[in-house]
Amino acid sequence: MTASPRARRTPAASAAILVAVLLLFGAAAFVAGLAVGGSKAVAESDPSPSGAVSSDAATPGATPLLETVSCAQPSEAFAVLCETYAEIKGQYVDDVTDEQLVDGAVRGMIEYGLQDPYSGYLTPDQFGSALDDLSGEFSGIGAEVGMKNLADPEDLEACTVVTESCAMVIVAPLDGSPAEDAGLRPGDQILAIDGTSTEGESVSSLVYVVRGESGTDVTLTIQRGEETSDVTITREVIDLHEVSSELLDDGVGYLRLTSFTDRAPGLFTDALQGLLDQGATSFVLDLRGNPGGYIVAAQGIASQFVPQGKLLFTVESDGNVQRWESETGLVQDESVPVVVLVDAGSASASEIVAGALKENDRATILGEPTFGKNTVQIWNDLPNGGGLRLTTDRWFTPDHNSAAPNGIAPDVVVAAPDDPTSTDDPQLDRAAEILTEG
């Protein structure tokens, strides 16, 4: 966690709070892994095409002056850093710039000092590329990735880089993305990128190896169970479609949400109202393969179904606890039945919504256990033009349970088809049965 007090968050930084898994391979600036903010009032950028959102996710306050460290009068701990810098500049055999050394030092502090796979550093070029993606169109393969400790799932802090036991895994491919078309599934391990092993690298750095211009190819070496195969994927320009809806038989309203962008709550409300106007009397909320996004978007969408009460708690780095309450909603009547569909690709903000509806007895959760992530990150811009993604909070369900590491357990377990190309949907079929059976 950060050593500086929580009061340092400016309103812009407060607005940058989000919940997500990690990094999207070419996302609308990281569909569920990053948010942009900080002392320079950079607008939140995570999944939103508009790149602007307002959130009161943390208590805003004046930004105090942070203690600075000077090599003229270094602290005892930083004396080692200053001495190393002096030795390199004075004696290293090749020329090296201050920018190179600072970049390496910052990356080392994050990747090795914090032991947190969800905190990370982007160089100025990488951060600029992330900001460019805020148009809502982005080039990549369209898949969310994360880190998994295969030996001890509860000890994710041990996995700062990819090792034999710490795997870079697919969390979820986006709907209609090249990754989905290529057959990638949640849980697939990425062993190599274009023939180069991922071992020894952080997920943050590997993401930018996978990303690239539309029309170019990237080959991923994937392990699924005991089988290993190479999958070549052509990068494309992808546009997000967060919400889709349909009125099914017997008055069942179906709503699919693919990401928690800043515009998702408004789109979701419009779709929900449209189904009500068509006569929907019960609802299926499909969060399968949804890797997350803004925490305030999760609050807004959960509020559509949960009457007045608590949705979640966040615990900040200084120990302060914030309670997130339900707001106004269209379907808060508890007599209206709801089923929420989840799977291993439902992460972060999806888990917030599933947990809130489950523990408020507002919905039946159906499918398979979710991904299992309960941390919150913010983005701060740095003086060199780079960006710092930092874990600042942990979130907990209304009953103070954690989604990490085992995820939200479904009330009704229904497995997905083994063949991802199958048109059969036993999970949706069972949800419709539950709603129509009363």
Active-site residue, from 180, 242, 351, 359: 359
In whole angstroms, give the CA distance from residue 167 to residue 198. Answer: 9
Query: Is beta strand 282-286 parallel, antiparallel or unpaired with respect to 338-342?
Result: parallel
Say how many C-beta atoms besides its own lie within 10 A of residue 196's C-beta. 11
DSSP 9-68: --HHHHHT-EEE-SEETT-SS-TTT----STT-PPP-SS-SS-------S-----PPPP-
Q: Which of 139, 204, 368, 373 is catalytic?
A: 373
Burial of 94 (0-12, 13-18, 19+ CB in 10 A): exposed
Q: Is 148 a catalytic residue?
A: no
Please name the amino acid found at residue 227.
Answer: E
Residue 238, helix vs strand vs coil: strand
Q: Which tokens in the block code for residue 40?
A: 């320079």
Outline where 304-381 has alpha helix (H). 349-359
Catalytic annotation present for 89? no
Residue with tokens 């903010």: 37
CB 21 within 8 A of CB 33: yes
For residue 154, indicate whether it is catalytic: no
Q: In the numeric block, which tokens belong to residue 300?
A: 């807004």
Closest CA to 12 of 52, 64, 47: 52
Cβ-proximal residues to 243 (8 Å cutoff; 6+ apart), any chain: 255, 256, 257, 258, 264, 267, 268, 270, 271
Bridge partners, residue 145, by sequence? 23, 170
Of the residues 316, 348, 350, 368, only one is catalytic, namely 348
The DSSP-derived string for 80-100 is: HHHHHHHHHHHH-SS---HHH
**Which residues are marked as active site?**
348, 359, 373
